[in-house]
Amino acid sequence: MLPTNFPALPLGLSSPAFDVTSAAIQASFNDLFASVDGRVFSGIPLAYPCFSNATENGVECGQVQRQYLNETFRAANFGAFIETQWETCQRTGAQCLLDSSNPTARVAQSGTCDAGSVSSYFIDVRNAADVSAAFKFSSQTSIPLVVKNTGHDYKGRSSAPNSLALWTHNLKNMSYQPAFVPEGCPKKNHLSQPAATFGAGVQWAEAYEFADVHNITLVGGSDRSVGVVGGWLQGGGHSVLSNTMGLGVDRVLQFKVVTPDGIFRVANACQNEDLFFALRGGGGGTFGVVLEATLLASPAVTLQAVIVSWSSSNPNRTLTGQLWSVMVDNALTWAADGWGGFSTSELAILVNPVLNSTEAEKSLESLIDFGNVEVKGNEVPGAQVVVTTFASFLSFFNEFTLEHVASVGTNLAIASRLIDKSTFATESNRTALVSALQRTNDAGPGMIILLAPPFSYLSAPAERTSVTEAWRSSVYHVTTIAEWPWDASADDKRAAYRQVSTAVDTIREITPDAAYQNEADVYEPNHEVAFWGSHYAELLRIKQKYDPQHLLDCWHCVGWNPNSSRFSCYL
């Protein structure tokens, strides 16, 4: 018999495919329930209260409707994802969504609420023993496992139909160590470094506040809800500071992780070195469940910033081409000068942690002149040229996220490309690149140029990361997106994925085969090379060593099984 306090499925929600009351599974499920102190819960889609006839759900539905497009609210709810298609079964259309263009619209009581790709059950993970118990359960029952923190995942790796999820969102421990030495490293041979340790549930908005209190700088993501040590970090992790301070993986000093054999391990430069290598770029949800990571902490920085923008409601293809020509013509110089940032078709934001204000204005003189002459001088609607200083990274981040937040609560396809420095080497190459960027933007409006590769970062630890080597020779990371409505057909969804892939083809044609795995085309061709370059064979060996039963799997991850039932909802 199941425990008397085991969670019942809500009325009206489709039941999970694996039956916890079956004789074959019940004993294992009882053991799991006891092992995790009852912290097993039904996976319920975020919008479920708005489809239920129960009168007590009216207040809850109202809250969901009001917060439907709020990334922090979504991250705090297990059944929600930043991009809503990963809550659904895209292939069959089974879903439980609100209209993202008008979430407060009344939902017909006859509407259906299907679990889609939301895990049937999840464990609220609080310690290593919880993860070990989940691996044991999956090994005994063959029930698929997924790992989820915030759900800020563009490729659906943290959801799967009929699965058991490990929800790490409540592992919120944070600490600062002014003189950290990785465990197992001889202190006499290993210099101590200032570091900060974060649990798997900490998000970047929380980490930046913590860093500011301790007067340190961390290299992290640009969205408030992104997890510090999950998929962002294990997949590489880029930042506006990465040019001079490295990718996220360059700055990891230690992981604490439970591998699929149920063993809690410490991975760093002195023990479990192969696992440390794999976790520094091999991708999340693949080699184990990371419970915490310790990251290098740098001194506080002052950021010089230059912003040139105009109104997005007044698209001007010629002006965009001029902006990107200025950027591309100066890209190598600006990268060497330490600039990071991003640009869209009507905006450029560049920040620099190494130059003073006088040096910064001189370095970006051509961009400032472009803004003053071509944008403000021609009275382009919404024209702005801002040259300013931010006293800390937190002050920049808070200002930045007021206006620039990733798409939330929508269905979204994304594709990306790394642009190698050779693409900027000659005038003809630069002209071809600007043309390709414009054609990509025309084909899939929503393109972003990110000055995020670690172009100026020269620290030795980069040699032992497992991201593609192309990060080290790239100047830009470019993404493009396409969206579709909440009630789109399967054909409409396929068209959106094709649109972004076709849009980025113009850049694929003139660049090496390299992309950022966390923001890549869901159907990326030759993904093993694009994500990991020459490292894939070694990563596959490490995967087979630590996960011979293949208990962990995810889309386009190292050693993935494309025939697994967990991918049945992909198109």
Tens of each residue's pLDDT in the chain, 571 residues: 667 676 666 655 655 567 777 887 889 999 999 999 999 999 999 999 998 765 556 788 999 999 999 999 999 999 999 999 999 999 999 999 999 999 998 775 556 889 999 999 999 999 999 999 999 999 999 999 999 999 999 999 999 999 999 999 999 999 999 999 999 998 777 789 999 999 999 999 999 999 999 999 999 999 999 999 999 999 999 999 999 999 999 999 999 999 999 999 999 999 999 999 999 999 999 999 999 999 999 999 999 999 999 998 777 899 999 999 999 999 999 999 999 999 999 999 999 999 999 999 999 999 999 999 999 999 999 999 999 999 999 999 999 887 887 899 999 999 999 999 999 999 999 999 999 999 999 987 789 999 999 999 976 555 689 999 999 999 999 999 999 999 999 999 999 999 999 999 999 999 999 999 999 999 999 999 999 999 999 999 999 999 999 999 999 999 999 999 999 999 9
One domain, residues 70 and 179: no
One domain, residues 410 and 275: no
- Residue 277's CATH number: 3.30.465.10
One domain, residues 387 and 441: yes
Residue that terminates a domain, selected from 122, 142, 167: 167
One domain, residues 265 and 388: no
Which strand ranges, in their side-by-side order, compose the sheet holding 474-484?
Answer: 384-390, 303-309, 347-352, 340-344, 448-451, 474-484, 411-420
- CA separation for the pair 452, 395 (Å, rounded): 19
One domain, residues 437 and 332: yes
In a domain, 17, yes or no: no
Nearest residue to 306 via CA among 288, 330, 283: 330
Residue-number span of the structural domain to which 138 is assigned:
23-167
Residue 268 in contact with residue 184, Cβ under 8 Å? yes
One domain, residues 322 and 469: yes
One domain, residues 387 and 507: yes
- CA separation for the pair 38, 121 (Å, rounded): 12
One domain, residues 443 and 380: yes
Question: Burial of 403 by CB count in 10 Å (0-12 exposed, 13-18 middle, 19+ buried)?
Answer: exposed
Question: What are the distances in angstroms from CA 448 to CA 367, 476, 478?
Answer: 18, 10, 6
**What is the domain count for the chain?**
3
Number of Cα atoms under 13 Å in the Cβ half of residue 408? 21
One domain, residues 235 and 129: no
One domain, residues 339 and 191: no
Helix, strand or coil, per DSSP, at residue 294: strand
In a domain, 4, yes or no: no
One domain, residues 330 and 233: no
- Residue 414's CATH number: 3.40.462.20
Nearest residue to 204 via CA among 234, 228, 171: 228
In a domain, 92, yes or no: yes
In a domain, 40, yes or no: yes
One domain, residues 528 and 538: no
Question: What DSSP line would sit under 395-446, residue for residue?
Answer: HHHHHHHHH-----SBEEEEEEEEEEGGGGSSHHHHHHHHHHHHHHHHHSS-
pTM listed for this prediction: 0.96
